[in-house]
């Protein structure tokens, strides 16, 4: 067997493999001998089929299969041994018709798409903004209000106010405004936040227990699915519904927020940690800003990616890649269809090549121990989110190992750790210019 490579240009090459009978005959003979041992054909005892008969039936398929195995193994070995950096997979070139029955010597050719040679240039001369999200008074007020509600108490006032939850009975009415005998009737709660019409909301506000409000549910509420559930009918029946309903107020429920005092502060943060409202607001601000660090990091990394895509220039073997994409597509596609989506794919591939080069040159990789540690951290965080204590280390380790047996979960965790390492690398490689920004302005910036 002889393998040679001919460079067409810096991005394209042809791999030529020459096979003679000596390269595959022994393998074919071994496979056919094994077939003969187990062959079960009419007129012959099992294992006693003449080799000539076995060759006639299986000779060509075995020959083709073994040659394909040799080609696959040889191409892989050659690429590894020669340290070829290729894109996609080798594509077989169209060849003259092969006579598998009579031919003993073969020549196969494969197109190779070669990765470009380039440099990634990053220095402290390259400046990137890092947006530090600051919690403004509006955000702190909102968080403080949420905490006060969470630790508040329910009350049952006499009159409805705007934020109340109103319990009552829906009753279907006829054209005369009277209750329909056997009609739809159901007890449910109504949040005034979901009342669509301002006029109707004003009818609720100020009403007392026993008050009756007439409404058309389709005009009254925003969400059809929720409204159907309030009436206890399915969505199909609700779609055909054309009746008006009365709603009798049975009860009023109001969340009375906790007072912002040391009693609340001790419940939230532990005794003596926060002594007054000023410290409480400062604590909320710090927690909120810490929550946004991940978003700031993602924005910074995206900006670094955009910078490198713009500043790093190299060509790709585009014609080869388009043909390769056509061969690996799950569904049959034309080159014209691939052309339509190629720019997006090319940008993604370009970044993948740059990222791989950065990782290789800076030894950025994820060890199994790091992935395991990340899995444990995620599990503990998820349990804490549901108010559960983190399990003992041994049990946590078992949970994490189990998570990593799922290939998709494993990939997500490895990608997560690698992304974190890339962000750290960018922070060290670029000159960071920190800018404070409100969350609202940050969202606008990120969307833009």
Does the model's pTM come out above 0.75? no
Measured distance CA(224)–CA(84) in Å, rounded: 60
Q: How far apart are CA 431 and CA 128, in angstroms?
A: 6
Q: What is the DSSP letter of 222?
A: S
* Greater model confidence, 37 or 23: 23
The answer on pLDDT for 113 being more than 80 is yes
Residue 443's CB is within 10 A of a number of other CB atoms, namely 13
pLDDT in tens, 171-219: 999 999 999 999 999 999 998 888 888 899 999 999 999 999 999 999 9
Which of the listed CATH numbers 3.20.20.70, 3.30.70.1050, 3.90.920.10, 3.40.50.1110 matches domain 2-114? Answer: 3.30.70.1050
Domain borders along the chain are 2-114, 153-256, 289-447
Residue with tokens 């989506």: 341
Higher model confidence: residue 358 or residue 53?
Answer: 358
Q: How confident is the model at residue 22 (pLDDT cuts 50, 70, 90)?
A: very high
370-408 tens-digit pLDDT: 999 999 999 988 888 776 777 888 899 999 999 999 999
DSSP assignment of 16-53: EEEE-HHHHHHHHHHHHHHHHHH---TTS-TT---HHH
Helices (H) and strands (E) in the chain, counts: 16, 11
Please report, in angstroms and rounded to a whole number, the separation of the first and last CA atoms in the chain: 58
pLDDT of residue 45 exceeding 90, the answer is: no
Q: How many CB atoms lie within 10 A of CB 141?
A: 12
Q: Residue 261, Cα to own-chain centre: how many angstroms?
A: 42
What dihedral do alpha carbons 422, 423, 429, 435 form, nearest 10°? 170
- What does the block give as tokens for 262? 């040391």
Contact yes or no for 113/321 (Cβ under 8 A):
yes
Question: Which positions ≥6 away from 261 have C-beta within 8 Å?
Answer: none
Closest CA to 422 of 292, 289, 308: 308
Assigned CATH for 289-447:
1.10.3120
The answer to whether 280 and 260 are in contact (CB under 8 A) is: yes
Q: Which residue has the tokens 């007439």?
A: 214
Domain 153-256 listed as CATH 3.10.50.30: yes
pLDDT score, position 153: 92
Predicted local distance difference test score (pLDDT) of residue 391: 82
Query: Mean per-residue pLDDT for 353-370?
Result: 95
């Amino acid at each position: 067997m002889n393998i040679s490579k001919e460079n067409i240009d810096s991005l394209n090459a042809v791999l030529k493999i020459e096979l003679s009978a000596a390269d595959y005959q022994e393998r074919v003979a071994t496979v056919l001998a094994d077939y003969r041992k187990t062959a079960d054909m009419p007129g012959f005892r099992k294992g006693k089929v003449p080799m000539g008969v076995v060759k006639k039936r299986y000779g060509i398929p075995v020959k083709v299969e073994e040659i394909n195995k040799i080609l696959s193994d040889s191409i892989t070995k050659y690429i590894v041994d020669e340290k070829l950096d290729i894109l996609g997979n080798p594509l077989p070139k169209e060849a003259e018709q092969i006579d598998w029955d009579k031919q003993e010597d073969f020549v196969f050719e494969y197109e190779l798409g070669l990765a470009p040679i380039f440099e990634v240039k990053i220095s402290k001369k390259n400046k990137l903004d890092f947006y530090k999200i600051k919690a403004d008074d509006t955000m702190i007020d909102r968080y403080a209000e949420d905490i006060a509600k969470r630790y508040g108490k329910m009350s049952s006032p006499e009159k409805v106010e705007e934020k109340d939850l109103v319990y009552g009975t829906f009753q279907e009415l006829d054209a005369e405004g009277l209750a329909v005998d056997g009609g739809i009737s159901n007890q449910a709660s109504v949040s005034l936040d979901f009342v669509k019409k301002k006029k109707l909301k004003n009818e609720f506000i100020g009403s007392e227990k026993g008050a009756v409000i007439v409404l058309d549910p389709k005009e009254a509420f925003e969400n059809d699915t929720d409204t159907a559930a309030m009436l206890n009918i399915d969505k199909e029946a609700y779609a055909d519904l054309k009746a008006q309903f009365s709603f009798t107020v049975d009860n009023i429920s109001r969340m009375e927020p906790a007072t912002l005092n040391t009693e609340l502060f001790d419940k939230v943060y532990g005794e003596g940690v926060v002594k007054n409202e000023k410290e409480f607001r400062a604590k909320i601000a710090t927690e909120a800003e810490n929550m946004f660090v991940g978003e700031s990091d993602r924005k910074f990394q995206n900006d670094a990616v955009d910078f490198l895509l713009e500043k790093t220039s190299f060509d790709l073997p585009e014609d080869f890649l388009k043909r390769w994409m056509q061969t690996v597509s799950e569904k049959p596609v034309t080159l014209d269809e691939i052309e339509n989506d190629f720019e997006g794919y090319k940008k993604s591939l370009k970044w993948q090549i740059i990222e791989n080069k950065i990782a290789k040159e800076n030894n950025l990789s994820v060890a199994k121990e790091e992935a395991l540690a990340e899995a444990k951290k995620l599990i503990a965080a998820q349990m804490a989110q549901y108010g559960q204590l983190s399990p003992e280390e041994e049990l946590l380790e078992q949970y994490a190992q189990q998570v990593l047996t799922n290939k998709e979960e494993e990939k997500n965790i490895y990608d997560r750790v690698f992304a974190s390492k890339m962000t750290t690398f960018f922070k060290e490689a670029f000159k960071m210019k920190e800018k404070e920004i409100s969350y609202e302005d940050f969202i606008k910036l990120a969307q833009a």
